[in-house]
């Protein structure tokens, strides 16, 4: 039998995931990438600027150098690699928000509950924190602001593609349910000057959305409506959008939301679901990781097209078309049956 040590393989990299997430989190939260965007710096300069212990920061930067986030020159100065530049707060599609969020205790600890979630089927976040994610966010403004920022960034990346892919020209009014900080509504309104919108979300979310709508330049055409989609949603819109909403919930809760929408909707209105679809078969798919994220965070799930067809059918909708929007994200157009 050989006693040669094995070369590092895929499993070793996978098992390092927890370390790498925290390393990137710490650098991003300290603001190291923003400091390095000013100029290459020694660890002493950086530690002073971001308020860190010199030796500990050096070890973190050295580890991140070895995985391609920073690079250190012969004089000892660190600078950003191209990948590391994505952590700058002013980067296009900045990853700083996700990097901070995924390592924060409230998010990170929920993942530590996956073992129990798999044994019991109970959402890990609820078990670990004793409260569901959205109730937690309602009472923790800092966490809520991070969460809304991550969603806003993710949605901004696909919103223009949704606005370009779907023909909104005959529509006057949009209702974006669980619309967060308005990224999707903004892209649709910008591309369709004839439209106005209602942005419907939990009261603590819409309270903070006003400033964002001003920045997005749609405040005069977008009304904020606080509410709970398990109770009721506003009626009267030509198009109702739900982006990354149904995947947050199990089938029973998802049906309850869709049935409330169906009750308030005119027969001629259209419902657009913007979600990742799990591909048939065993094809590799990032959505399968997002699916487990739903098991951890909200108790929802990612679904196949057939599962969406069944869910929508049970709530009184028929799918008219399914179009690919961007990456794995699809737009499912449905109408009242």
Ligand X SMILES: C[S@@+](CC[C@H](N)C(=O)[O-])C[C@H]1O[C@@H](n2cnc3c(N)ncnc32)[C@H](O)[C@@H]1O
**Chain contacts with ligand X (rule: CB under 6 A):** 134, 151, 155, 178-180, 183, 201-202, 205, 228-230, 243-245, 248
Rounded distance between C-alpha atoms, residue 72 and residue 256, angstroms? 54
Quick one: 18 or 230, whose CB is closer to ligand X? 230
Shortest Å, Cβ 111 to ligand X: 17
Q: Left, alpha or beta for 41 (phi > 0: left; psi -120 to 50: alpha)? A: beta
Closest CA to 61 of 82, 46, 39: 46
Smallest gap, in angstroms, from Cβ of residue 23 to ligand X? 26
Residue number with the smallest Cβ distance to ligand X: 178
Given the complex with ligand X, which of 180 and 287 has the nearer CB atom? Answer: 180
Handedness of CA 152, 153, 156, 162 (dihedral sign): negative
CB nearer to ligand X: pick between 178 and 299:
178
For ligand X, the closer CB: 78 or 249:
249
* Strand-pair partners of 177: 200
Q: Could you tell me the smallest distance in angstroms from the CB atom of residue 230 to ligand X?
A: 5
Dihedral pair phi/psi, residue 322, rounded to 5°: -130, 120
Encoded tokens for 267: 């027969």
Which DSSP letter does residue 266 get?
Answer: -
Query: How many Å apart are CA 325 and CA 306, to the nearest integer?
Result: 18
Closest CB 185 distance from ligand X, rounded Å:
9
Q: Which is nearer to ligand X, 63 or 256 (CB)?
A: 256
Closest to 128 measured CA to CA, from 106, 100, 147: 106
The yes-or-no answer on residue 58 being catalytic is no
CB 303 within 8 A of CB 278: yes
Q: At closest approach, how far in Å is the CB of 170 from ligand X? A: 23
Find tokens 């924190």 and name the residue: 129
Active-site positions read 247
């Amino acid at each position: 039998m050989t006693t040669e040590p094995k070369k590092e393989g895929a499993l070793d990299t996978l098992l390092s995931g927890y370390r790498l997430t925290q390393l990137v989190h710490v650098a991003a939260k300290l603001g190291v990438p923003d400091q390095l965007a000013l100029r290459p710096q020694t660890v002493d300069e950086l530690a002073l600027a971001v308020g860190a212990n010199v030796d500990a920061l050096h070890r973190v930067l050295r580890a991140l150098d070895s995985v391609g986030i920073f690079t250190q020159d012969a004089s000892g100065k660190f600078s950003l690699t191209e990948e590391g530049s994505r952590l700058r707060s002013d980067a296009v599609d900045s990853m700083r928000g996700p990097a901070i969020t995924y390592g924060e205790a409230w998010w990170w600890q929920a993942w530590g509950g996956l073992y129990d979630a798999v044994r019991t089927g109970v959402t890990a976040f609820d078990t670990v924190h004793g409260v569901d994610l959205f109730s937690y966010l309602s009472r923790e403004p800092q966490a809520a602001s991070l969460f809304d920022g991550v969603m806003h960034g993710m949605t901004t990346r696909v919103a223009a593609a949704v606005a370009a892919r779907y023909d909104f020209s005959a529509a006057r009014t949009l209702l974006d349910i669980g619309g967060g900080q308005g990224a999707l509504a903004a892209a649709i309104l910008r591309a369709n000057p004839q439209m106005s919108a209602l942005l419907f979300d939990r009261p603590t979310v819409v309270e903070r959305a006003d400033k964002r709508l001003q920045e997005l330049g749609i405040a005069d055409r977008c009304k904020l409506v606080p509410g709970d989609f398990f109770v009721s949603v506003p009626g009267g819109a030509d198009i109702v959008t739900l982006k990354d909403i149904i995947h947050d919930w199990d089938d029973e809760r998802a049906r309850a939301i869709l049935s409330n929408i169906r009750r308030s909707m005119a027969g001629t209105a259209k419902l657009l679901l913007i979600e990742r679809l799990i591909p048939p078969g065993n094809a590799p798919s990032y959505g399968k990781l997002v699916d487990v994220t739903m098991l951890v965070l909200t108790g929802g799930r990612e679904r196949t097209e057939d599962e969406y067809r069944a869910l929508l059918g049970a709530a009184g909708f028929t799918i008219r078309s399914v179009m690919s929007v961007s990456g794995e994200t699809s737009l499912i157009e449905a109408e009242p049956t």
